[in-house]
Amino acid sequence: MPELPEVETVRRGLAPAMEGAVIARAEVNRPDLRWPLPERMAERLSGARVLRLGRRSKYILADLDSGETLLIHLGMSGRMQVSGDPLGMFHHDHPAPQKHDHVVFHMENGARVTFNDARRFGAMDLCPTDAVAAHPLLASLGPEPQGNAFNDAYLIDAFAKRRSPVKSVLLDQKVIAGLGNIYVCEALHRAGIAPTRRADRIAAPRVAALVPVIRDVIAEAIAAGGSSLRDHRQADGELGYFQHNFRAYDREGAPCSQPGCGGTIRRIVQSGRSTFYCPACQR
C-alpha cells in the first residue's frame, strides 16, 4: 500500500493540473470502490473548482469551492494519472480508456486526471470542508511526521504508554500518521533500534533521537518520488526510485550498510508483515 511519501508525491504531481482549476466534468464509471461512492458524486464534482490539494496521512484532500472536500485513498493499486496538461508539465496524450478507469476528472484546462484501480481497494468520499478533520477516516489519526506536533516530548510520552514492539507502535496510525512498513523498517535501522524491542523499554534519549531520523527518511523518500515496488507511479507515469536507497527493507541476506557493522540483514514476520533489520547493530 502506498505510504506517506508515495501519496505526497502523487499530490504534488496532481497540483499543476488540478489546483485552481475547474472540473468541467466528472465521470464516475461504477457505484463503488472499496466502499460505495458518494451519492450523485459526478454531479457534485462537475463544475467545481479545486481550491487546494492537501494531504492528511495517506489521503489526498481536494478542497472545492462548493464547500465540500474530496477524500482520495489510493488503496493497494490505485493510480492517479494526468494526461494532456496544457501547461506543459505532462507530455502524455490522453490514453484510450482502460478497464479499471473508475473515476475520471475532465479538467476545464484540458488536463484529464484518471483514477485507475485494478483491485478496487481505493476509496473516495465527499464531506463538508469545515468538518473534514472529524471525518471517520481522519478523526483518530496521530500527528504528521513532518509536523510540529511530532516532536521529542510527544514520542517519548507515546512510547512510555505502550508495551508493544516498537515497530507495531510506529505503524499505529493513531500514534503517527502516514508511516508504513517500508519507512518504519528504514527508520529503525538508521536509529539502531531493534524492531522487536518494547516501546516502553527504550530510553528517552534514544526515542528522542528517532524523531529526526523519521523526518529524514520521509523527506528523502519524497525527494526520490517514493518507492516503486509493484504499483506505485507518479502522476506523470514515472516510477519513484527511493527503493534504490533501501538500507534494510527487502534486503534479506545482504550485508548491513552501517559502517563497521559487519552484520547481515534478516527478515522476520511481525503481525503478518515482513520486518527487515540487522540483529548486529539494532538493539
**Other C-beta atoms within 10 Å of 141: how many?**
19
Among residues 3, 6, 68, 186, which one is catalytic? Answer: 3
Among residues 52, 206, 267, 273, which one is catalytic? Answer: 273
- For the question of residue 3 being annotated catalytic, the response is yes
Share of the chain above pLDDT 90, in %: 75
pLDDT(243) > 70:
no
**Other C-beta atoms within 10 Å of 127: how many?**
18
Query: What pLDDT is stored for residue 244 in this prediction?
Result: 57
In the chain, where are the structural domains located? 4-134, 152-277
210: cell is 528517532
**Cβ(75)–Cβ(1) under 8 Å?**
yes
| Cα torsion 97, 101, 106, 109: sign | negative
pLDDT: which is higher, 187 or 77: 187
169: cell is 507502535
Paired strand residues for 101: 116
Among residues 2, 5, 16, 195, which one is catalytic? Answer: 2
- For the question of residue 162 being annotated catalytic, the response is no
Among residues 11, 55, 58, 233, which one is catalytic? Answer: 58
For domain 4-134, which architecture applies?
Answer: Alpha-Beta Barrel (3.20)
pTM score: 0.89
**Cβ(17)–Cβ(87) under 8 Å?**
yes
CATH of region 152-277, choose from 3.30.200.20, 3.40.50.300, 1.10.8.50, 3.40.50.720: 1.10.8.50
- pLDDT tens-place string over residues 161-209: 999 999 999 999 999 999 999 999 999 999 999 999 999 999 999 999 9
- For the question of residue 112 being annotated catalytic, the response is no
**3-state class (DSSP) for residue 145:** coil
- For the question of residue 2 being annotated catalytic, the response is yes
